[in-house]
Structure 1
Amino acid sequence: MPPAPARPRADRSPWRSLTYRSMRWWSVANLVSNAGTWMQLTVQNLLVLQITGSPAATGLSLSVQAAPGLLMSVAGGAAVDRWHRKLTAAVSQALLGVVAFATALLIAFDQLDLGVLMVLAAVTGLIATIDGPACALLGNDLVRAEDVPSAIGVGSLVSNAGRLAGTGLAGLAVGVFGTAAAYVANGVSFLFVAAVIPFLRPVADAAGRAAPAVRRDEAPDAMTVREGLAFFARRPRLVALAGITGISAVFGRNYGLTLAVLVTGPLAGGAGAFGTVSTVLAVGGIIGAVLGARLRKPSVRLVGTLAAAGALLQAVAGLSPSLAVLLVLVLPMAVVESVSDTAGTTVLQTDPPADMRGRVLGVWGSIKTVWGLAGPPALGLLMELAGARGALVAGGLLIAGAIGAGHLLRRRRTREPVLTPVPTPHPALSTAA
């Protein structure tokens, strides 16, 4: 196995993960995969509308695909801990490719109806409960622990680049070859990733041993879903991270909803104005990903501080008197939240021991699905009651207040003295004395 590249210990370059040959290949594979995924996603909603003519059916298809994440993510994470990681990732990518090709064939022969599409969406979501944690942890195995933030930051940039490329290529492919072409392209992208995985090499740790993928000396029945849930619940850092990320996801972050209503309502802008805001958000996210990639050992405290800062910026943005002021606030808001996301993902993927990370990511997947389902309705209700400005201000203050209260509570607990009981002398010893 080739040794990991030697670099200065203080290296904080956001691109340092790319000094690993396997990580460079993994990044290329992910770029191709993300482009294919976004080609499919771009046409998927249009396809449902063509089949049913119902916007409600479009939302239902997305919910059906997300449902396995709510119900099966923990089991999927346990499978990732139990099985060989590279093999698991390669097989799951290949299976996703098969589903994409099957969908393309059904479209080409005009055999795709809503029922079949829902089944395919559910199968895709089920495979993703294993593929997500397997691929995330495989990427971490390719770099040293201190370079994981760089790997996550580069992954975020690759994801954004793939999204831009995929959405652009989707229109070209569909216009020239038809709707099935987007699914064929996505299938090819999955097979490309599956073909690259066998050639990836995990780095050696400090003791010169290969980075562990699974706990091979453990009986399979010990690697249970219950064990993963119990570990997560007993880990204060992970519980705190879940709380910070959860409240931020429910009362913030859904800017496609809140800022759209703010721009087109109180600020009297149009679709073009909201497009400008979306572009600035994307640019801020990219800048934040680069800055986050410079981190080495982020903490939950850093995640909370950045999330609170982003929430306060959100509250101020809700009071913007004009589109120009909103744009000035949106950029740093997106930057700090992107850095917070990178830091939080790093903690999540590196805090647990290697043999527990799949199950931890599985628990996280279920929790994240709950946030994704609960956030838009909660925010919509808040906007009904307080308007777009009120939702942004109240949501931001609620996030910052909850994080601040949690920090103060933790400090109070750590400062409380631990009282050690004084043992009472045994009566017989007292008499003898």
Structure 2
Amino acid sequence: MRWWSAANLVSNAGTWMQLTVQNLLVLQITGSAAATGLSLSVQAAPGLLMSLAGGAAVDRWPRRLTAAVSQALLGAVAFTTAVLVALDQLNVGVLMALAAVTGLIATVDGPACSLLGNDLVPPEDVPSAIGVGSLVHSAGRLIGAALAGITVGALGTAAAYAANGLSFLFVTAVIPFLRPAPGALPARAPAPAQGSAPHEDDLGMREGLRYFARSPRLLALAGVTGISAVFGRNYGLTLAVLVTGPLAGGAGAFGTVSTVLAVGGILGAVLGARLRRPSVRLVGTLAAAGGLLQVVAGVSPSLAMLLVLVLPMAVVESISDTAGTTVLQTDPPARLRGRVLGVWGSVRTGWGLAGPPALGLLMEYAGARGALVAGGLLIAGSVLAGHLLHRRRAHPAPALPVLLPEAPAIPAAPLTATVPAPRPAPAAETRQPVGAAA
């Protein structure tokens, strides 16, 4: 697990470095912010359409091999981009195609790497392993964003893509040496015996979708996470407008806010790693708390006050994410977890594509402060309404007694009982001597 965490830290840093450089590269080639957003949408689109198929592949194929191949393919895409940039042969069309290929590979790589990390620890330590993964993700994001500017300034854009390719190869080289922990769940469902009918769970992608749709816990988790993702977690958009607008700060001030958000994410991941049995109720409570903090942040009068609020906002968000991921990866049976993660990948991609436009439209009408306040109240109110609805279904009100019209009184029967007539004495029995044949 230590080797896997170190490899993931390197890979996450490389990925965030490439994402940062990719935005700058698209701006350099096209000079259009819309094209930058389009490149991100093109990379996310396969997750909306193909995540369920990717999750089914993870359930059917050996997990270590699947993760190693997907990481190697992502490295090949990064190296190809680096060569094209170095030769000045990269145009918008090729860049969009490479982004789409990256998104397609990620539909398999995401669930494979997530579940592979869980295989390296005993089942009771899976929540801690997920917390460590969140910590590695937050730290890698912070490191990668910082390294992007240094690498581009010193070595150029192609070097950043090449460094990301090397990070994928490092993960690929580590995977063959990983061994599942004693007591860990099997990496994939056992194949049915020859000549026997396949189990209904081996039918394919529909089983993951059916399980997700029939699980009230996962549906509630999807609702809480979805409304939080759309109205509460696009801080790169809402806080940027708030800092540079009403609070009259500059790019440096927003950089400070972003750093505090990253630090809060790391602290939250450390605290989330201590959770043993998180629940959907905990996720909802944390989401509501984050929404209320967001309301206060929306009316903060100064940048200093905003910085004080941003840290607990990021901590609460990180713990909530860790708790939700633990529920998502431990509730389904082992043979369906890849497919359930595939369903989740499609839903999460839908939020990612719909959230920024919806939030931008809200800011057009209500401004940055109004969007933060309205979004936070909507999150807290939705969580409270869901809790009350669940409580009402779990504890329905007792039925009122039905009052029937009083029936006429029936006279009591006399206390004398009718004694039946004695039966006549039976005829003399014919007895056989002892030992006679029956």
TM-score by length of 1: 0.87
Per the alignment, residue 385 of structure 1 pairs with 365
Which residue is equivalent to 1:122?
100
1:314-346 Cα distance to aligned partner (Å, 9 max, x none): 112111122222222222121111111110011
Q: 1:233 aligns with which of 203, 208, 213?
A: 213
* AA partner of residue 411 (structure 1): R
Deviations 1:156-207 (A, max 9, x none): 22223223332333334333433211111111111111111111111122xx
Q: Which residue of 2 aligns with 1:329?
A: 309
Judge conservation of contact 2:139–2:266 (CA < 8 Å) in 1.
no
Residue pairs, 1:6-405, within 5 angstroms: 23-205=1-183, 211-218=185-192, 219=198, 222-405=202-385
- What SS is found at the alignment partner of 1:321? coil
Q: Deviations over 1:77-97 (max 9, x none)?
A: 011111111110011001111
Instruction: Work out the CA distance in 2 between the residues paired with 1:195 and 1:36.
Output: 16
Q: CA deviation at 1:145?
A: 2.5
Contact 2:230 2:355 in 1 (8 A): yes
The letter of the residue matching 1:174 is V
**Corresponding position of 1:6:** none
Inter-CA distance 273–110: structure 2 relative to 1 (3 Å threshold): closer
Q: CA deviation at 1:417?
A: 7.3
Counterpart residue identity of residue 233, structure 1: A
1:39 Cα deviation from its structure 2 partner: 2.4
- Which secondary structure state, in structure 2, belongs to the residue aligned with residue 294 of structure 1? coil
- String of CA shifts for 1:38-71, please: whole Å, max 9, x gaps: 2222211222222222222211111110000000
Query: In structure 2, what is the Cα distance between the partners aligned to 1:378 and 1:164?
Result: 27
Q: 1-side partners of 2:243 and 2:75: how far apart?
A: 39
Structure having the higher Rg: 2
8 Å contact 1:104–1:180 — kept in the other structure?
yes
CA contact (8 A) 1:146 1:297 kept: no
Higher mean C-alpha displacement, 217-226 vs 129-138: 217-226
**Measured at CA, do residues 33 and 223 of structure 1 come closer, stay the same or move farther in structure 2, by a change above 3 Å?**
farther
Output the CA distance in 1 between the equivalents of 2:274 and 2:64.
27
- AA aligned opposite 1:312: L
CA distance in 2, matches of 1:407, 1:30: 36
| SS of corresponding position for 2:189 | coil
The one-letter code matched in structure 2 to 1:211 is L
Aligned letter for 1:136?
S
Deviates more, 1:224-233 or 1:99-108: 99-108
Distance in 1 between the 2:88 and 2:155 partners? Answer: 15
Q: Secondary structure at the match of 1:298?
A: coil
- Give the 3-state SS of the residue equivalent to 1:168 in structure 2: helix
Displacement of 1:418 after TM fit? Answer: 10
Query: Once superposed, what is the RMSD of the aligned Cα atoms?
Result: 1.7
Is the Cα–Cα contact under 8 Å of residues 77 and 361 in structure 1 kept in the other structure? yes
The alpha carbon displacement at 1:389 in A equals 1.4
The separation in 1 between residues aligned to 2:59 and 2:264, in whole angstroms, is 35
1:7 matched residue in structure 2: none
Between the aligned partners of 2:274 and 2:148, the Cα distance in structure 1 is 33
* Alignment-mate amino acid for residue 156 of structure 1: S
Report the more deviating stretch, 329-338 or 366-375: 329-338
Taking the aligned partners of 2:144 and 2:299, their CA distance within structure 1 comes to 35
Aligned partners of 1:87 and 1:159: how far apart in 2?
22
Query: TM-score normalised to the size of structure 2?
Result: 0.86
Task: Please say if residues 78 and 223 of structure 1, whose CA atoms lie closer than 8 Å, have aligned partners that are also in contact.
Answer: no
**Gapped regions of structure 1 (runs ≥ 5):** 1-22, 420-433
Q: Deviations over 1:278-298 (max 9, x none)?
A: 222222111111111111110
Distance 1:227 1:350 in 2: 17
